[in-house]
């Protein structure tokens, strides 16, 4: 049946017809059925998505941080169209221009930032980048055990799920391989050690050092000076864990411990990379040079699956990481490479502008959130780094996590029943965190100040709707 909508666009199926097909033919194993009745949207542009009735939704989720430059970015689109017309397909077995050029661009960007020569290996998605980083570390260190954080999310493929903290991601399947040794994230609002951030003197890092120093803790053999662990997988700002920003000195302290005990440092920038926090990589804020960086998502601004890892030369040079160590049919796909090259070029050409603007817009957004925190008792805390922002939903005591409120607010935003300047609209929010009570705000880095005002107004309406 043809559905003709308010906007005079026609769609071959109504939203309900699509849901019927989905319920009969689609596996429920992905995340669409986190919602009992899937929400359907039909278009996107800039900071907005649109439903079949052309109601617009301010998107503060951006395909889980995959479209940092906003939807339908013209430059990236034109590059992809050009690639479709020139070399749309080529086996990953062969070299072509943009594969080499994108690797060079990322390699030179890191050389400039960290004064480290490295190389790039591509794969299809962020989880596969985690898998490849695991193989790279195991290949180099001959250690199969890794550290990761409580609240970590490094993907859901079999190996990556062992680095992702939540047991729910493994419970139905049993254990795949060597599960990470999970240690507490510097989540200062809810410090797992009951410390206060301004007086703790990095208690959590000292705790880890104590574990290493204890010859019977299982982490280290002082006689052979050998750690049982190859690397620590780190999200410099924890993404799915709730956009938690560690105190600025934290990673320098952690790195000292890892260096002292011979453990490598992997920065997972899949979600926080590509200027989400106002820098190419979020680890840059913390003054630490990682041994490996994994990336994905916004590399192509959502136009084709592509992810990868950069590693220091000593880990990835051809004598230690020769041909065939990893591969996937689509790992070097030309559409993704061309999109990635254009995204990197846009950021490179406007580096100073993005750094300045994202920091300023982030501050402006955070000030708006602080106003809401004062106004609503059910906002426990707000925080952010650049345009990676967070709101913790709590009971009226301002501390007890309220996952139900967080869920309701998110769902209400998807329904498109809010109003801004007299016009019907909605808002797309994501939720995450250790207690499922945190709204993670992921606007495009191109968001305007007017759109930030709109966001604050809509979030205000949502908290007001659900206040007692
Ligand atoms: C930090 C981080 N690492 C890895 C992944 C996995 O990426 P993908 O979903 O592309 O497999 C994600 C996805 O959300 C992520 O946020």
Rounded Cα distance between 69 and 357, Å, is 13
Q: Is the dihedral of CA 296, 385, 256, 167 positive or negative?
A: negative
DSSP characters for 379-439?
EEEEEEETTEEEEEEB-TTS-SB-HHHHHHHHHHHHHT-EEETTEEEEEE-EEESTTS-EE
Distance 130 CA to ligand 1 centre (A): 8
Q: Residue 224: what are its φ and ψ, rounded to 5°?
A: -90, -5
Reduced to 3 states (helix: H, G, I; strand: E, B; else coil), residue 175 is: coil
pLDDT value, residue 410: 96
* Beta pairing class for 145-149 and 229-234: parallel
C-alpha 17 chain-centroid distance = 33
Asked whether residue 338 carries a pLDDT value surpassing 80, the answer given is yes
Q: Where are the domains of the chain?
A: 41-72+353-465, 75-349
Is the CB of residue 273 below 6 angstroms from any atom belonging to ligand 1?
no
Asked whether residue 190 carries a pLDDT value surpassing 90, the answer given is yes
Nearest residue CA, atom 7 of ligand 1? 126
Residue 457 burial by Cβ neighbours in a 10 Å radius (0-12, 13-18, 19+): middle
- Statement: 75-349 belongs to CATH 3.40.640.10: yes
Is the CB of residue 336 below 6 angstroms from any atom belonging to ligand 1?
no
Q: What is the pLDDT of residues 239-281, one digit of tens each?
A: 999 999 999 999 999 999 999 999 999 999 999 999 999 999 9
Average the pLDDT over 310-322 and give the result: 98
CATH fold of the domain at 41-72+353-465 = 3.90.1150
Domains 41-72+353-465 and 75-349 share a fold: no
Q: Which residues of 228-344 form beta strands (DSSP E)?
A: 229-234, 264-268, 292-295, 307-312
Reduced to 3 states (helix: H, G, I; strand: E, B; else coil), residue 240 is: coil
Average pLDDT across the chain, whole number: 96
Please answer whether residues 441 and 384 qualify as being in contact, where contact means their C-beta atoms are separated by less than 8 angstroms: yes
Give the model's confidence band at 32: pLDDT under 50 very low, under 70 low, under 90 confident, else very high: very high
Ligand 1 atom with the shortest distance to the CA of 126: 7
Q: What is the pLDDT of residues 429-442, one digit of tens each?
A: 999 889 999 999 99
Distance 354 CA to ligand 1 centre (A): 23
Nearest residue CA, atom 3 of ligand 1? 154
Is the CB of residue 64 below 6 angstroms from any atom belonging to ligand 1?
yes
Distance 232 CA to ligand 1 centre (A): 16
Cβ-based neighbours of 158, under 8 Å, separated by 6 or more: 176, 177
Rama region for 14: left / alpha / beta (φ>0; ψ in -120 to 50; rest)? beta
The DSSP call for residue 299 is G
Q: What is the pLDDT of residues 151-186, one digit of tens each?
A: 999 999 999 999 999 888 888 888 777 899 999 999
pLDDT value, residue 390: 98
Average the pLDDT over 355-377 and give the result: 98
Nearest residue CA, atom 9 of ligand 1? 126
Is the CB of residue 233 below 6 angstroms from any atom belonging to ligand 1?
no
**298: nearest Cα among 268, 358, 241, 339:** 339
**180, 268, 271: residue to mutate for ligand 1 pocket, most atoms within 8 A of CB:** 271
pLDDT value, residue 467: 85
Is the CB of residue 300 below 6 angstroms from any atom belonging to ligand 1?
no
Rounded Cα distance between 15 and 27, Å, is 18
């Amino acid at each position: 049946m043809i559905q003709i909508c308010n906007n005079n666009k026609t769609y071959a199926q109504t939203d309900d017809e699509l849901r019927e097909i989905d319920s009969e033919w689609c596996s429920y194993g992905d995340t669409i059925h986190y919602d009992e009745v899937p929400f359907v949207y039909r278009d996107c542009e800039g900071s907005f998505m649109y439903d079949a009735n052309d109601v617009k939704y301010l998107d503060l989720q951006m395909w889980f941080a995959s479209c940092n430059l906003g939807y339908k970015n013209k430059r990236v689109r034109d590059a992809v169209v050009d690639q479709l017309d020139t070399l749309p397909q080529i086996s990953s077995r062969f070299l072509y221009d943009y594969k080499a050029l994108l690797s060079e661009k990322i390699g030179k960007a890191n050389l400039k930032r960290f004064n480290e020569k490295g190389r790039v290996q591509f794969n299809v998605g962020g989880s596969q980048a985690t898998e490849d980083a695991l193989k790279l570390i195991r290949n180099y260190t001959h250690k199969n055990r890794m550290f990761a954080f409580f609240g970590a999310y490094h993907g859901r493929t079999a190996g990556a799920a062992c680095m992702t903290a939540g047991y729910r991601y493994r419970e139905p399947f049993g254990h795949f391989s060597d599960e990470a040794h999970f240690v507490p994230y510097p989540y200062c609002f809810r410090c797992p050690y009951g410390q206060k951030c301004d007086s703790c003197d990095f208690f959590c890092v000292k705790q880890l050092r104590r574990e290493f120093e204890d010859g019977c803790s299982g982490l280290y053999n002082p006689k052979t000076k050998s750690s049982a662990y190859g690397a620590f997988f780190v999200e410099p700002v924890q993404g799915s864990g709730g956009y938690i920003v560690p105190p600025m000195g934290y990673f320098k302290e952690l790195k000292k411990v890892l260096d002292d005990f011979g453990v490598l440092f992997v920065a997972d920038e899949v979600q926080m990379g590509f200027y989400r926090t106002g820098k190419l990589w979020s680890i840059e804020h913390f003054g630490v040079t990682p041994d490996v960086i994994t990336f994905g998502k916004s590399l192509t601004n959502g136009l084709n699956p592509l992810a990868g890892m950069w590693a220091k030369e000593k880990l990835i040079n051809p004598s230690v990481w020769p041909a065939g160590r990893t591969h996937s049919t689509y790992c070097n796909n030309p559409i993704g490479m061309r999109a990635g090259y254009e995204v990197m070029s846009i950021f490179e050409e406007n580096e100073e502008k993005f750094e300045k603007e994202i920091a300023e817009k982030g501050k402006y957004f955070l000030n708006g959130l602080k106003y809401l925190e004062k106004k609503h008792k059910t906002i426990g805390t707000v925080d952010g780094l650049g345009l990676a922002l967070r709101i913790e939903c709590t009971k009226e005591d301002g501390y007890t996590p309220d996952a139900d409120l967080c869920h309701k607010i998110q769902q209400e935003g998807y329904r498109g029943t809010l109003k801004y300047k007299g016009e019907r609209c909605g808002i797309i929010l994501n939720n995450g965190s250790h207690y499922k009570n945190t709204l993670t705000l992921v606007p495009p880095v191109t968001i305007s100040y007017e759109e930030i005002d709109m966001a604050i107004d809509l979030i205000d309406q949502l908290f007001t709707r659900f206040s007692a």
